[in-house]
Amino acid sequence: MSSTKAISASLKSVDAKKESLRKAFEDLQSHSSSLASFTLQWKDLEDHFDSIQKSLEHRFKELEAKEAQVSAKGSAPKQSPPEKDKSADKPSPHLPAKKPDEPERSPRPELKSLCVSMDGMGLRSYIIEHRKELPFVKDELAGALRTASDPATLVLDAMQGFFPPNSKGDKDGELASIRRTCILLLEQSAAISPEIRPHVKEKAKNLAHEWKGKVSKGGENPLEALGFLQLLATYGLGSAFNADELLDLVATVARRRQAVDLCRAIGFSDKIPDFIEKLKNNGKHLEAVKFVFAFELVDKFPPVPLLKAHVKASKKVAQEIRKKGNDSIQAQNEASAKEIAALKAVIKYIEDHKLESEYPRESLDKRIEQMEKQKSDRKRPAATPAQKPQSQQQQTGNKRPRPAVPAPPRTLAAATSVPSIQQAQLQQPSLLQDRFTPYLSSTAGPYGLASPSTVTPYMSSTGGLYGLAGNSSFGANLSPTRSSYPYVSESRPASGLYDRSTGFGGYGLPSQYRQSFYP
């Protein structure tokens, strides 16, 4: 029993997880303009998700029934299942017939109440508000619509706001939810085939003409074209519009699961050969294959050449993506993902329609494996070089090499390794050099300083601050050794150190040179 409870809890969390997936998908779809072609739609994922969920729920009910029988130990008499409504099993001319394991669910009271009161806008709002429970609401919707006095009018009233003013199209998440709900209502209305009175059909026709002028022609907002075509199919309005123009709209939603059923419902069966040619000419080979099999035109349009053309076109699209992205890692990954998706779609057709003898899939599998390996290699971090010895790192890794053995503290007088260019610049005649000529020794070292033999000791008893001599030499030792007065208390400066009357700014210059600096 504990395992049954765990399964039940997992099934209850499916809706929340699917809602999170939907939000993530819509966020991804909002960036689809940066991709070469983004044809996958949330509806496709949702349908696949719903089919898996229904299958799991059906098996779970069977498991519960078996556990109940085991716990009862055969004491309770087995009840015969209730007789199903035969009208629910009748196939619709517009939608695929329900599977035997998908009986129509009894509508919940609030859903039924909205239909009985003919509240179209309230019905639409209820579905949007309960979209987390959409699989269950969808199963109950057909039964709820049957309780309405005029289902055709009820659904038509719910179409308000499908094209609001100043809309952002399908990229607007709230508007996209409204449009999906409207399409769902139109589909469920077509499934029950309600009576459509003449004035209701005329109202739907006027609405269809209004929508036609607003539908995007380039396929940028596929929900617009899908809603318009579903409106025509539900209310039987296909003959009121130009067939070629409608087929152009069908081409923009050809990958949608509803495309084939819409063509049948609107009455395009006799125009499908021309439509397949149009898809081929527009480079939509995979969509053409879909209609070839749906309308059994394999003899007229062999599917294998179309599949091979799709593989070739996918490679070309991948090359264009790489070129446009300057062959960056992001562009390479995007191109590989596009090509892998195309190859997997071709493989699915090969498997579903038993085309292995005509089109072996080994080359496709190898190509997919090769691209996936390349993607995996691009994700791996670059190998770090082996650690070099410390001395070698100092010689090659640093901009300014340092000696391996620390040198003793340097003095300005001992600094002899000065670049020649720097020496030339520093030793050029200047005003300072002229003014400090008395302080420069004839045996001066670099920077015009006295040689080590003539440098006055740092902080000597006869020197000024920084070891500047009070008479004939300008000596300095800015880096004294540890033996040269490490503590201030060992040697005090002359009494005139901070006396401006006896020194230039406290630097101990003789009085005869003060006038030249302060005219």
pLDDT tens figures, 305-319: 999 999 999 999 999
| DSSP assignment letter at 136 | H
Domain count, the chain: 2
Q: Which of 46-50, 59-63, 170-174 has the lowest mean pLDDT?
A: 46-50
Asked if the structure places residue 22 within a domain, the reply is yes
Structure tokens, 475: 């000596």
Q: What are phi and psi of 463, to 5 degrees?
A: -100, 160
Q: What is the pLDDT of residue 176?
A: 92
pLDDT of 311 reads 94
Q: Classify residue 52: in a domain, yes or no.
A: yes
Q: Is the pTM of this model over 0.75?
A: no
Q: Does 386 have pLDDT greater than 70?
A: no
Distance CA 306, CA 287 (A): 10
Specify whether the CB–CB gap between 158 and 125 falls below 8 A.
no
State the Cα–Cα distance between residues 379 and 72, nearest whole angstrom: 57
Query: What band does 14 get if pLDDT is binned at 50, 70 and 90?
Result: confident
Question: What confidence score (pLDDT) does residue 22 get?
Answer: 76
Could you please report the per-residue DSSP string of 434-449? HHTGGG--TT--GGGP
Residue 106 lies in a domain: no
Q: Tokens at residue 424, please? A: 């030339």
Question: In percent, how much of the chain has pLDDT > 90?
Answer: 44
Label residue 229 exposed, middle or buried (CB < 10 Å: 0-12, 13-18, 19+): buried
- Residue 278: per-residue pLDDT: 92
Residue range 491-514: mean pLDDT, rounded: 45
Q: pLDDT per residue over 64-78, tens digit each? A: 777 776 666 554 444
Q: For the CA atoms of the chain, what is the radius of gyration?
A: 43
- DSSP assignment string, 315-376: HHHHHHHHHHTTT-HHHHHHHHHHHHHHHHHHHHHHHHTT-TTTS-SHHHHHHHHHHHHHHH
Residue 99 in this model has a pLDDT that exceeds 60: no
DSSP 13: T
Look at 344 and 172; give whichever has higher pLDDT: 344
The residue type found at 225 is A
pLDDT of 162 reads: 95
Residue 19 counted as domain residue: yes
The tokens 């199963």 sit on which residue? 139
Q: Which residue segment(s) compose the domain that 25 sits in? A: 2-29+40-66
Whether 254 is covered by a domain: the verdict is no
Under the banding of pLDDT at 50, 70 and 90, the label for residue 427 is: very low
Q: Is there a domain that residue 441 lies in?
A: yes
Query: Which tens digit of pLDDT belongs to each residue from 253-284?
Result: 999 989 999 999 999 989 999 999 999 999 99
Q: What is the largest CA-CA distance in the chain?
A: 129
Give the pLDDT score at 401. 52
Specify burial of residue 375 (Cβ count, 10 A radius: 0-12, 13-18, 19+): middle
Give the pLDDT score at 77: 46
The stretch 381-409 carries a mean pLDDT of 50
Residue 60: its pLDDT value, please? 77
pLDDT: which is higher, 15 or 213: 213
pLDDT at 500: 45
pLDDT classification of 47: cutoffs 50, 70, 90: low
pLDDT tens-digit series, residues 101-122: 455 678 999 999 999 999 999 9
Does pLDDT of 467 surpass 50? Answer: no
Q: Lowest-confidence range among 151-155, 327-331, 513-517? A: 513-517
Encoded amino acid at 458, one letter: Y
Q: What is the 3-state secondary structure (H, E, C) of 256-287?
A: CCCHHHHHHHHCCHHHHHHHHHHHHHCCCHHH
Q: And the tokens for 463? A: 């020197």
The DSSP 8-state label assigned to residue 244 in this structure reads H
| Structure confidence by residue, pLDDT tens digits, 197-229 | 999 999 999 999 999 999 987 778 899 999 999
Instruction: Give the closest residue to 214 by CA, choosing from 179, 186, 185, 258.
Output: 179
At residue 225, the 3 state secondary structure works out as helix
23 lies in a domain?
yes
332 assigned to some structural domain? no
Per-residue model confidence (pLDDT) at position 65: 73
Q: 454, 448 in Cβ contact below 8 A?
A: no
Tokens of 77: 């008499």
